[in-house]
Structure 1
């Protein structure tokens, strides 16, 4: 306790020097948290955009469906089954879907498409699909012949709102599935692939078209953006019949996107590694300045009888205290900035906005408020600061009092 009190008094003997060191640690933590928050936020939003309009974070389907994605491998919808899933606090929403493939035709153009039969109310509530309509309107109630198509598909077919699209495919039990549908809206989704291939229609309409009354090919499950996929998957498997059904994560269903994120993250790890090196040099510079300024003081203390190892211990405590203050201030500053930018994300405008939209991405930079970001980045900077603070102690152990006093 005596050494802690002595270290605390020492760091405020020169408040200006202490505040410079604290500021170095503060900006180090703030920069690390902000950088990691924006990279994680962009990835989380990209994943959310893709999975919410296609597979979901988790997907339940009949065993064998993923190997042979046919309407023949559909299952019967069960309300009790859905209620059991919603009892899980991690589950934020369920989206029943009937996914099939068909040939779409308009005028003299044809294209193979993915037809998603959806519950319009669930999609509006869970992933705000209605907000992605850039032309026309969202589904109206009690209308059986309405469809929404992706903007890329509309461009390829040269189709517009209120045009009639013909769909030809195969229904349940090899029945014929063909019909004419009115395009009531055009969607702009966050995935270029979906934009160019997807057609949404009400679930009841899709079931009737394919002769699959009350049947689903999958039940897409939405989770919080930062939920643990594997533990959530295990929790779902505990309440379903795993002999009849299979649960898959988005990483299993879309390995190419997972690999892209892993590869892109490697580049960010290099950048944040460089940032840590810069941070280390900044911290080391302030500690070096502190050591040289107090060289004569250390010499006098040793000359009047203070043990070198005890003096080194006190200096180590001083450095750790300063680092802790800087880290605490950095975390508080980081929480403030991340919270502000989470509530009001950065939105691009002008030509930069157009570039993002052309590639099918939202022109918005999102930030992640995951608690792990604050813990990990703070711990890394604190460890760096603690390791660098060994230098002043090392200098004290090798100090010659006479040389230090005369310096």
Structure 2
């Protein structure tokens, strides 16, 4: 079959118009189709297209009086959130106090360079907070930069789902999605938040592709940003499930802290230059499951601490101690009163052979440490590779682990 040149050009023109129409809404808004920050995957425009496909209307701050020219846009942004409409944040807006939400929250941006919420240095309070009382409350924040001019003050995103939660809601889809947001100080590390992301009673929460840069000042030895990502249970009966994926957290006292969350999965995250990269603790003694897989956990102190966790998997991670101060002995991985685990295919690397850094330390203070298998890991320049107390008789260390000291390979460093 032969197609004439005129027919071919007509078909090409029709196809081009059809493709362009998929990315343009009725109001003439060009929907971004590429991810602005983070690793490859669905971009901020994905959420916009999903909303348009559902026939919903997107509100903008300008519809409520925002100027986006450096003037105070707090009232306009608050009115936008109070409207309950899905909103497109595509500009730079200056704020003088905390924004609050009480029902569903759906804010979609176009990436950190085009969608910015900036809190001034003299703001009474900073950040965005939501306290949701609806049984099916939902929050989605995507592709927005949260910036502050303060030093170690305020929480960028605080979401509380503890009100009106019950176990009957466990089966619902993601209650909260925080994706591809940028959280930092306006002037780099000299300014910043006290907490980056804080979620109370996280039921089916997904936190992915976010970039959190902590605040570090020369006058303070420790970072002023306390925790990059914090997950915690609001009431003892609340179910809690969280998926933490592809986030980057830099220069915080703690990169991520999970407290009494029943199920936590952390994959492909990058924690760098934090005092402690990751802490998963079970204080109220409920059954807790933790999976940590394919993460980079670089820390000046501990890379990972587990406390009271039942069932854990540490697979394919890189644990790296940055500080080589001989006056600061530390363990890269601490497993305290935790049971039924697999530690497999990880790399534990100490920056300097002169630093008194141990690899994995099991700590027993109550009960009995359950079955834990340690296999196919690489230990590099650790003072003592694996420390196991007498009470932990069910810790099995296979011959597939490889130990290196400053002089080379050795297999005699297990205590």
More strand per residue? 2
TM-score bracket, normalised by the shorter chain, equals under 0.3
Structure-1-length-normalised TM-score: 0.20
Larger radius of gyration: 1
Question: Which has the higher relative contact order, 1 or 2, with Cα contacts under 8 A spaced 6 or more apart?
Answer: 1
Structure-2-length-normalised TM-score: 0.19
More helix per residue? 1
